[in-house]
Amino acid sequence: MTAPPAARYRLAAVPHDRVTIAGGFWGPRQEANRATTIPTIHRRLREAGHLDALRLAWRPGDPNPPHVFWESDLAKWIEAASYSLATAPDPALDATLDGVIDLLAGAQRPDGYLNAHFTVVEPEGRWTNLRDKHELYCAGHLIEAAVAHHAATGKGALLDIARRYADYIAQVFGPGPGQRRGYCGHQELELALVRLHGATGEDRYLRLARFFLDERGRQPHYFDLEARARGEDPRDFAHGTYEYNQSHRPVREQDTAVGHAVRLMYQLCAMADLAHETGDAALLAACERLYPSVVERRMYVTGGLGSSAHNEGFTADYDLPNETAYAETCAAIGLFLWQSRMLRFAGDGRYADVMERSLYNGILSGLALDGAHFSYKNPLAVPRDADKAGERYPTLRQPWFACACCPPNIARLLASLGGYAYGEGADTNDLYVHLYIQGSARLRAGDQTVTLRQETAYPWEGRVELTVEPERPATFALYLRIPGWCRGARLAVNGEERPLAVEHGYARVERAWAAGDRLTLDLPLPVERVRAHPAVAADRGRVALRRGPVVYCLEEADNPLPETAEAGGMRLDALALPRDAELTATFEPDLLDGVVTLAGQALRRDGGNGAPQAFKAVPFYAWGNRARGEMQVWLREAP
């Protein structure tokens, strides 16, 4: 299928194995992901029973029955481990992966079906409840893992498993006689099938992805039909409305962010990919319509999505409570993935700005500095009793969760992060730098490789040194993102300052390049006060602090308050920041693995008097790594 130019990606993605992240901010984090996070997740999966479930030995009455979503957790770990292997060969990890793939092969049924729960726990329930169960969702993550593993290792065993499963699904679902016209309650398979098409060149996977998107929200509603077939009343639905899983309207007609946040983000990823592959301008137009609803009216300052725990998702415009914010780690990752696709269509820096915001804040907050503890939700205010007993998804980071979607999700993103930092013109020799990450990349400009090296302490410092090394002298354009928060950026080429020519958020530098040419980009990083839209009731009279892409918070560990402080529900609310208070930034190498902190003088509400009190703010992503206590992003602002 050939797409017309109107709905094609303008930029090609750069495979992450052509990018090396070394040193700087992200190098140690990616190494911790390899050395700690990926092995920790594998151990937790084994202890929880995910691996043993594939032996299909569970029998009624046995403890710990396989869950409907377990294969998805395992598949995301396989994907993360595969990405890691592609950039850091590890024979032991390679062998571990082979062992897990052998278990998957043994669990696959002769017809291609693969889900331990519906093989041994509910064998009669296969495909009977797509609304609430996760069969197709798990299949999608398995396919994504297979594509990643094949690309990293060249081995075909897992890809063969995934193709057999996809081919079986294509027999069961479709518009033909005797086929089911259903789709999954949790989107994911759609984008995975597009990836499988890319890996195999088989158009049937693209057609199946399109079928699932086309069917969503059509009448008669499939989830009504299958509920009746189960002998249930379709109205007896825990979430009350099909907005929950975005099946309330056909996808091309949707214009408002509703329902479960992760599901919408995965749907939008699939819509963008399919628009590119098929030239479906209506799918792209729907993505563009949904952008302001998601980003401008229903996104937190941290890049988090989802204001309600009830639906793990969206409520109404500007309804962004802080203490009860859900802001699931997976939702921020989904936002990052969707925005990376929109960026490829337009080459517009506003999409990269959202990627960066979610990456440094809403995503990174989901992983503790030790690489072995995780958060499911990421609220913007936390009282002292946040991890009260019995809470399903505790606020403070945990070693594991019963629903463990977030830990392997963040692991796979960190392992593949280099693939989002750069872009190449799909039909031009243009090269793009989206994210400032120390390391190097091998990019394609025409018929030659251009090595681009970055040296930077970003985000703590705004200076980025880039060395351009083409194989031979050549003329092409290099686009450097100027973040939307940045004012006063300066650029020099080979030591000579030159005016910025900014196009859609990128500084364009076109010249005849030779090996050793150097660009110096200076991005000022003042401490800024951010104020919410006036319609955000939770943040009226409040201010958030930001420096570059990093959002800050106050923690009780740095800002102790007397028990007598009149703070209502949050004792940190006893502090108010004067509008004219001077704010200073200091790098503290021994604090929280090295961070820039912010400091200033606040006023303390204590018995009605505004007594001065020094305060310190730390990056939001780093909160909760020390003593338990309160945390707050939005601070009261003193007149």
Q: How far apart are CA 278 and CA 210, in angstroms?
A: 9
* Helices and strands, counts by H and E, the chain: 16, 23
The residue among 632, 571, 582, 558 whose CA lies nearest residue 606 is 571
Strand partners, 587: 596
Beta-strand relationship, 575-578 and 609-619 = unpaired
> 602 in helix, strand or coil?
strand
Residue 380: both structure tokens together: 């913007």
Q: How far apart are CA 375 and CA 400, in angstroms?
A: 9
Give the whole-angstrom CA distance, residue 575 versus residue 606.
9
State whether the Cα torsion 176-182-184-190 is positive or negative.
positive
C-alpha–C-alpha distance, residues 104 and 624, integer Å: 37
Tell me the DSSP string of 304-372.
-B-SBTTTTB--STT---STT----HHHHHHHHHHHHHHHHHH--HHHHHHHHHIIIIIIGGGB-TTSS
User: Rounded to whole angstroms, what are the CA distances from 198 to 78, 183, 330, 442?
Assistant: 19, 21, 24, 21
Q: Which residues belong to the active site?
A: 312, 405
The SS3 call for residue 577 is strand
Q: How far apart are CA 602 and CA 1, in angstroms?
A: 61
Number of other residues whose CB lies within 10 A of the CB of residue 512: 10
Q: Which of 422, 440, 397 is nearest to 480 (CA)?
A: 422
124 exposure class (CB count in 10 Å sphere: 0-12, 13-18, 19+): exposed
| 528 Cβ contact partners less than 8 Å away, ≥ 6 residues apart | 485, 545, 546, 547
The residue assigned the tokens 């999608």 is 140
- For 397, the token pair is 């980071």
Both tokens of residue 630?
Answer: 């309160």
Helix, strand, coil share of the chain (percent; to 5): 40, 20, 40
DSSP H or E segment with residue 442: strand 439-445
459 cis-preceded (ω within 30 degrees of 0) = yes
Q: Please list, in sequence order, all residues whose beta carbon lies within 8 angstroms of the beta carbon of residue 289, skipping any fewer than 6 positions away.
A: 254, 255
Contact in structure between 538 and 563 (CB atoms under 8 Å): no
